């Protein structure tokens, strides 16, 4: 039985990856320090004999007994609200944490996949974004703590690949959504869902003309799984190229949730990228992968999930 270590296991993507690898017959070791994650995301796995959980901060030395075949490094705050609240931890998990996991991969002769992001392209000057675009990041802006941690993460991963011959994979994840997103993580989908369910107006930052391209979590997980098993060491974009303005998206959410709410406008956060759309030609060619779940279906499933939250969860300011 192959063994895989997944960091960030109690988070949104990490928990879905744990489910997928268990389903594929792996022994999964999940690791998390719960800084932005939630025990509830992995509660259903704790009695599974093929799952083991270790509570640990990966910026400290990571020790695993026995062999390991794969490591997926997904630990990191991922939403602007989170990484603005804990900027130093964000820089540390992307740099020191990644270094620890690369060291572990080298010691165990394991293949490692790291979770990078479309944020390495910053506020992009080319559209859609291809993997060979170097990006436009403000290193000293508020989002720099996340963007630069991820850019460093890519660099050190390539250095381990070139210098130590480590088997490495880099996925550049574009905005992904689905069940288990934290209601109050500030990202636009949980924000709009929470507002709709609480009967509040939907907050659009800026004039809403900025664009994003939203990928349903199952499609993302499938892309990551295929990339891990491929033999390609350079970064690959995984996301859904179907682009929409935030204003149109708010209208879709109002229609989906059948609420009578309006939209209200708030200030656009500094360095908020004005447009984002992945070019996924490489993933299509290399992995024979493309997203299958459209926004209508994905958002319906996601809304069903948010509807299951209790009133208490819906109204508490953070968790």
238 contacts which partner out of ligand NAD, ligand UDP, none, CB within 5 to 8 A by kind? none
Rounded distance between C-alpha atoms, residue 243 and residue 25, angstroms: 35
Nearer Cβ to ligand NAD, position 176 or 211? 176
Give the span between the Cα atoms of 68 and 111, in whole angstroms: 9
- Of 160, 142, 135, the residue nearest 71 (C-alpha): 160
Of 129, 143, 127, which is closest to residue 82 (Cα–Cα)?
Answer: 143
Which residues make beta-bridge pairs with 51?
Answer: 28
Q: Which does 93 bind (CB under 5 to 8 A by kind): ligand NAD, ligand UDP, none?
A: ligand NAD
Sort 43 into a burial class: Cβ within 10 Å, 0-12 / 13-18 / 19+: exposed
Nearer to ligand UDP, 152 or 205 (CB): 205
In the complex, the smallest distance separating the C-beta of residue 231 from ligand UDP, rounded to whole angstroms, is: 30
Binding residues for ligand NAD restricted to 19-58, rule: CB under 6 A? 32-37, 57-58
Phi and psi angles of residue 54, each rounded to the nearest 5 degrees, phi first: -125, 120
Active-site residue identified among 146, 160, 216, 225: 146
Task: Please list every residue from 71 through 100 that binds ligand UDP, using CB under 6 A.
Answer: 79-80
**Does the protein bind ligand NAD through residue 184 (CB under 6 A)?**
no
Task: Give the chain's length.
Answer: 319
Residue placing its CB nearer to ligand UDP in the complex, 61 or 315:
315
Cα atoms found within 13 Å of the Cα of residue 53, Cβ hemisphere only: 22
Which of 251, 238, 244, 300 has the alpha carbon at shortest distance from 275? 244
Binding ligand UDP (rule: CB under 6 A), the pick from 212, 219, 271, 295 is 212
Closer of 54 and 201 to ligand NAD (Cβ): 54
Comparison of 142 and 186: residue with beta carbon closer to ligand UDP? 186
38-to-81, 89, 97, 180 alpha-carbon distances in Å: 16, 17, 20, 9
Q: Is 146 a catalytic residue?
A: yes
Residues 237-276 that bind ligand UDP (CB under 6 A): 246, 269, 272
Q: Which pair of tokens denotes residue 117?
A: 């992001």
Residue 188 binding ligand UDP, by CB under 6 A: yes
Helix axes 246-257, 295-307, angle to 10 degrees: 60
Tell me if 205 contacts ligand UDP by CB under 6 A.
yes
Q: Which positions are catalytic?
A: 146
Q: Which residues in this chain contact ligand UDP in the complex, by CB under 6 A?
A: 79-80, 175, 186-188, 191, 203-205, 210, 212, 246, 269, 272
Q: Which residues in this chain contact ligand NAD in the complex, by CB under 6 A?
A: 7-8, 10-14, 32-37, 57-59, 74-78, 93, 97, 115, 117, 173, 175-176
């Amino acid at each position: 039985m192959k063994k895989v270590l997944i960091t960030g296991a109690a988070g949104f993507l990490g928990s879905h990856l744990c489910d997928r690898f268990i389903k594929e017959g792996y022994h999964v070791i999940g690791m998390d320090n719960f800084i932005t994650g939630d025990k509830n995301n992995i509660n259903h796995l704790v009695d599974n004999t093929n799952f083991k959980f270790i509570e640990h901060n990966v910026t400290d030395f990571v020790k695993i007994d026995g062999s390991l075949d794969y490591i997926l490094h997904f630990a990191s705050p991922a939403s602007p609200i989170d990484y603005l609240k804990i900027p130093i931890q964000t820089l540390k998990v992307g740099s020191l944490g990644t270094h620890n996991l690369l060291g572990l991969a080298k010691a165990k002769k394991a293949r490692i996949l790291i979770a990078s992001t479309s944020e390495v392209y910053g506020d992009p000057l080319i559209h859609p974004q291809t993997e060979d675009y170097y990006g436009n990041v403000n290193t000293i802006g508020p989002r720099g703590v996340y963007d630069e941690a991820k850019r460093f993460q890519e660099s050190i991963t390539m250095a381990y690949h070139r210098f130590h011959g480590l088997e490495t994979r880099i996925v550049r994840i574009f905005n992904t959504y689905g069940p288990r997103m934290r209601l109050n993580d500030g990202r636009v989908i949980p924000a709009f869902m929470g507002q709709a369910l609480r009967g509040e107006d939907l907050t659009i930052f800026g004039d809403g003309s900025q664009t994003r391209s939203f990928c349903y979590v199952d499609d993302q997980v499938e892309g990551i799984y295929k990339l891990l098993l491929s033999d390609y060491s350079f970064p690959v974009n995984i996301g859904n190229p179907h682009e929409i303005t935030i204003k149109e998206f708010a209208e879709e959410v109002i229609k989906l949730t059948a609420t009578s709410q309006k939209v209200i406008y708030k200030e656009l956060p500094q360095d908020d990228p004005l447009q984002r759309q992945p070019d996924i030609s490489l993933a299509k060619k290399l992995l024979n992968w493309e997203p299958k779940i459209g926004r209508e279906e994905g958002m319906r499933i996601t809304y069903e999930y948010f509807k299951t939250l209790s009133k208490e969860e819906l109204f508490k300011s953070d968790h």
